[in-house]
Chain A
């Protein structure tokens, strides 16, 4: 039994290692101080490829894993916490604020954030601020308030209010989520976390980071990824709309003309 678990764990870590290599942009995980802890966290995702088809209404994915204490000299000590971060590809976003002008509500000039994750979910076993210090969280880019959106917003209250509004609007669209009790431990070493990908989830390659903290310090990290893409007829239509737009437009017009003709022939009385 134990051998089988180890075998599975090895397989998982190989898989995760392979997919992590594909992520060039992600910095290598900071290595914990030698000699302090050798716990390892291993994790995987229930679905690695999500296909958006015509019946798509959103999907739940399960991130599960275990803390491997086998190399640890003192597994009985310390408090362990897991934080899981799921991030979609970065996209630039413009935030605008309406102001009243001559009785009408008019959009003011926009502020552009060049690096906004199109999806960002942070799940943890406890509130993240209770798990690690702000410094550590900022260094790892964990938590909505610590994210760098590609725009310097420190110091200016106006910039801060735009940033807060953007996070709130992304939360309203269920594209940003933070769940303080999203990671549930089963026993001492097994854990699971459920992430809801809403119907408006953007397509692309998602990175899943799982961080293991011991007494507020990063002890281990593992990375996986999942691909969300349109499939079937949805993919065909989407590709055509963006790669052969003129033909796609003609197709739209042709469908309308044919439907109009059929409608007339089917219902005409003269």
Chain B
């Protein structure tokens, strides 16, 4: 009844399932202030969408959800445009490299393995760190101490680097090199995994760049628009793997779900949110790890030859 044929994925999916999937991921992304790609792309693959199409289409969906997210943050003055521009410059270069790398690995038949291993490594380590940090914060809160993620005025090795720039909104005067490199790494991951990379960008901004927490989410989600837009364009142009019909369904669901997620998120405390997000990130990592380690039900696989 609600089956719809996807022209690029060349399969038929249930309209309501895809809308629901977009809404569920949008809800979580609105709630936690992340793009949600790290959930969406694996879920798309689990529902039978070919991995390459899941990556490109997932990126396109994140463009939509991060536009609404950015507008909400923008009005609260939480976007650092200067920092965003530097991160985007690095990110675009990283994304280009990532798309080309993915293309090369697909030819070798190893793209699935590398994508899975990258997911396990990043999701596993970041999920564990976040869980540890948020549990500690909750414990300190219970002990009655005030919590501050940022130790203002503290100097580290980053302050020794050249090409210093002023970032007024973040009240920072640091070298442009660390944000460029971080932007590049996240861009690489974004194109590679079909994610926005917020789950890496946010900790990197807090712990390496020492940006104030209030501008971190806004700036991260702002630069994600541009990175995922570039990733979408690159995949569409070089690999022909963007399914616009699927993307449309996911975006509709995602934009609506995202708005409800933001409201739900405001009812929860920060460290509770972070602990829940951490558990979810770890859950996805474990699931992907299991698929790598467990004996596959079918050892053989077939794919169309590249260039055929």
Contact = CB atoms under 8 A, between A and B. Distances in A.
Interface stretch (B164-172, B184-192, B289-297): B289-297
A264 interface: yes
A214 interface: no
A74 interface: no
The B contact surface, by secondary structure, is helix
A96 B301 contact: yes
Contact of A261 (B67, B112, B235, B247): B67
Contacts of B294: 105
B308 interface: yes
Contacts of A82: none
Interface in A74-122: 91-100, 103-107, 109-110, 112, 114
Nearest to B113: A106
A103 B293 contact: yes
Given A57-B12, A260-B64, A263-B258, A92 B308 contact: yes
B60 A252 contact: yes
Nearest to A260: B67
A166 interface: yes
Interface residues of B, number: 60
Contact of A264 (B4, B71, B305): B71
B256 interface: yes
A32 interface: no
A235 B5 CA distance: 11
A242 B239 CA distance: 9
Contacts of B248: 255, 259
B300 A96 contact: yes
A114 B61 CA distance: 36
A253 interface: yes
B251 A256 contact: yes
Contacts of A30: none
Contacts of B10: 200, 202
A242 to B, nearest CB: 6
B63 A199 contact: no
B252 interface: yes
B5 A259 contact: no
Nearest to A242: B240
A265 B68 CA distance: 9
A150 B63 CA distance: 44
B255 interface: yes
Contacts of B247: 252, 255-256
Contacts of B234: 249
Contacts of B143: none
Contacts of A96: 109, 300-303
B255 A260 contact: yes
7 contacts: A54-B5, A92-B304, A105-B292, A106-B113, A200-B11, A245-B238, A249-B235
Given A94-B304, A249-B237, A252-B247, 8 more contacts: A199-B5, A199-B12, A241-B242, A257-B229, A260-B67, A266-B259, A267-B256, A268-B71
